[in-house]
A and B are shown apart, each in its own frame.
Chain A
């Protein structure tokens, strides 16, 4: 069966058993059955006792896996990649992004550095989530823009013992599925930016969970360029083009390093530094204090 996804009408071929699960992973995307209408951007092909998901953005054009849920998650990821690929000169770094004030703080770091936890901590404080894991990034007329993809945020379980007060409740109340150490979340429409929405990036922040007091310092541009270029998928772009985008982006926006131990302290510091109240002041209580 064929399906049209999102405003771009991305054509996806997969059985209804997978399509019915896509809404769990794609938030703000319309999903409608369709006639074939051409070559699908993403398709799930039955293979043995599992599925082969095929898309340009996947390694060697396709990935084999088992289970409808895993297939739906990968179809969703591939669809988000195709959304990025449809935009000119846009890369897809592994990064979280949260609207603070009049722009986005883009959080970078190695796996385990706490990007998702910090992003969700900020979301629990009332700041709108753009992405918790992957975000579109483009430089347009000198402005660096972060683009929401509408992918479901995920929280690693159990949450860290030092998780911010309020975060466990936030995660629990929004969890639509939990298993294998991960909770898939469904945030309210004012808590997560819908796909395609862009916000100007105010700072690139490399997370360094080294312990101790939270501290925001200047970071070498080269380190941020390398982090962006290494962590970016960029369907249709050469590595040299990815590098050029990373270089242009870091020339226009401050590059910082956030050393921290506990995510709530780090979140408070970011809010203090980037300033301005949350979009949902009435709900933003964390650690017993209203921001």
Chain B
């Protein structure tokens, strides 16, 4: 399954963090660095395996297993909050 961030969610950068505003739920979200990197990557559709490869290249010192777990958790949270959606 591939995922992509919703285009109508607005973003505001504050230093290394990112705040999102969902116009549908009217909720604000605060993304830490990992979640911000994932959000940035999801400007284009990716599946989890592709994201893991992308992050493993970006963070060569991190264990790929750990990257996979972190990504899966963060992705599930973004999907659960409706900020990221699955695409064909």
Q: Which of A221, A230, A238, A240 lies in contact with B14, CB distance below 8 A?
A: A221
Q: Is the CB of B21 within 8 A of A221?
A: no
A239 B26 Cβ-Cβ under 8 A:
yes
Please, which residue of chain A has its CB at the minimum distance from the CB of B16? A222
Question: How close is B18's CB to chain A, nearest CB, in angstroms?
Answer: 9
Q: Which residues of B contact A239 (CB under 8 A)?
A: 21, 26-28
Question: Which residues from chain B contact A238 at a C-beta distance below 8 Å?
Answer: 26
Of residues 23 through 46 on chain B, the ones whose CB sits less than 8 Å from some CB of chain A are: 23, 26-28, 30
Is A86's beta carbon under 8 Å from chain B?
Answer: no
Residues of B within 8 A of A226 (CB): 19, 30
Expressed in whole angstroms, the Cα–Cα distance for A240 and B23 within the complex equals 9
Q: Nearest Cβ in chain A — how far from B75, in angstroms?
A: 21
Which chain B residues border A243 with CB–CB below 8 Å? Answer: 12, 19, 21, 28
A residues near B21, Cβ cutoff 8 Å:
239-240, 243
Q: Who on chain A is nearest to B30 by CB? A: A226
B8: chain A residues within 8 A (beta carbon): none
A229 closest partner in B (C-beta): B28
| A225–B14 CB distance below 8 A | yes
Bound CA span A221–B15, Å: 7
Is B17's beta carbon under 8 Å from chain A?
yes
Contact among B12, B17, B30 with A244 in the assembled complex (CB-CB below 8 Å) = B12
Contact across chains for B15 and A220 when beta carbons are under 8 A apart: yes
Q: Contact mask A195-231 → B, CB, 8 Å, 1/0?
A: 0000000000000000000000000111001100110
A116: interface (CB < 8 Å): no
Query: From residue B67, how far is it (CB to closest CB) to chain A in Å?
Result: 23
Q: Which of B10, B12, B16, B27 contacts A247 (CB 8 A)?
A: B12
The 0/1 profile, CB within 8 Å of B marked 1, for residues 234-265 of chain A is: 00001110111001001000000000000000
* Bound Cα distance A220, B10 (Å): 22
Closest chain-A Cβ to B40's Cβ sits at a distance in Å of 16
Contact A222 B10 (CB under 8 A): no
Shortest beta-carbon contacts, A-B, top 9: A222-B17, A240-B21, A222-B14, A226-B30, A239-B28, A225-B14, A221-B14, A221-B15, A239-B26
Given pairs A239-B27, A243-B21, A250-B14, 19 additional interface contacts (CB within 8 A) = A221-B14, A222-B16, A222-B19, A225-B14, A225-B19, A225-B30, A229-B19, A229-B28, A239-B21, A239-B26, A240-B23, A240-B28, A242-B28, A243-B12, A243-B28, A244-B12, A247-B12, A247-B14, A247-B19
